[in-house]
Amino acid sequence: MSEHEVFSDSMYDERTHLAERELSAFISAVTERFGPQQARASAQDWLDEAEMMDSPPRSNARDWRAVTIAASARLASRIDAVQYRRKSSTKSTHASTDTRPAPISSSNCFNSVLLF
């Protein structure tokens, strides 16, 4: 094996290690915050985004953080859609059965604290 091949292999190993660390950190964070189901979907998103990158896998220009950001955007869209569906179904359920006015948030009561 030539010196160039050894150097090339070590660079590839380093890039692979960086990608693995980035993916692992991302999945750990998603699992902690949103659970294992979203983590599985996000792992697939991350891998899909990595495949769509313009630079080849052995390129020095590969930016794994950009892959994570793109996968995070997919997660955010998915989470927003799920939360929107939950809120919509909750509102329609409450709208038909709950006729009480919504409570006043504490921030709206701030002026009364300043008056005494």
Question: Which sequence spans correspond to the domains of the chain?
Answer: 3-94
pLDDT in tens, 1-43: 565 555 567 777 888 899 999 999 999 999 999 999 999 999 9
> pTM (2 decimals)?
0.62
What pLDDT does residue 82 have? 75
Q: Are 18 and 64 in contact (CB under 8 A)?
A: yes
Output the CA angle 9-11-17, nearest 5 degrees: 100
Q: Are 41 and 78 in contact (CB under 8 A)?
A: yes
* C-alpha R_g of the chain: 24
Q: Are 79 and 38 in contact (CB under 8 A)?
A: yes
Nearest residue to 29 via CA among 42, 18, 20, 44: 42
Nearest residue to 65 via CA among 31, 34, 25, 29: 25
What pLDDT does residue 60 have? 59
